[in-house]
């Protein structure tokens, strides 16, 4: 990151005091849930981010947790009904 800032300063001839130190917004933790069903019971409807968020809000350990982005739902295999869910908290 320091190389990029140095290049910008040199090419644009800007005052180095006017450039703020970079920082990354976002979460510090990723939660991975494995071996959940990809399709909702007795339907062909896949699990959605909305459903994952709704379920998490009903679990007491997630009362004060804020989701930083939508959950990522990945089907484990073509012929399988299992999913892996990544949550950015």
pTM over 0.95: no
The pLDDT of residue 14 is: 59
Q: Are 76 and 30 in contact (CB under 8 A)?
A: no
Largest CA distance in the chain: 64
pLDDT at 23 over 60: no
Query: What are the residue boundaries of the structural domains of the chain, listed by start?
Result: 26-88
pLDDT at 18 over 70: no
pLDDT digits (tens, 9 = 90+) for 32-71: 776 788 888 778 888 888 888 888 888 887 777 777 788 8
- 3-class SS shares of the chain: helix, strand, coil, % to 5: 30, 25, 45
For the chain, first and last CA: distance in Å? 25
Which of 6-20, 30-44, 65-79 is predicted with the least confidence, judged by mean pLDDT?
Answer: 6-20
The pLDDT of residue 20 is: 64
Q: Are 55 and 67 in contact (CB under 8 A)?
A: no
């Amino acid at each position: 990151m320091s190389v990029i800032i140095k290049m910008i300063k040199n090419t644009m001839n800007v005052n180095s005091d006017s450039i703020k130190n970079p920082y990354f917004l976002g979460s510090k933790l990723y939660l991975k849930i494995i071996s959940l069903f990809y399709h909702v019971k007795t339907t062909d409807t896949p699990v959605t981010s909305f459903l994952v968020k709704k379920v998490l809000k009903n679990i007491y350990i997630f009362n004060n947790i804020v989701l930083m982005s939508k959950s990522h739902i990945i089907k484990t295999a073509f012929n399988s009904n299992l999913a892996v869910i990544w949550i950015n908290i």
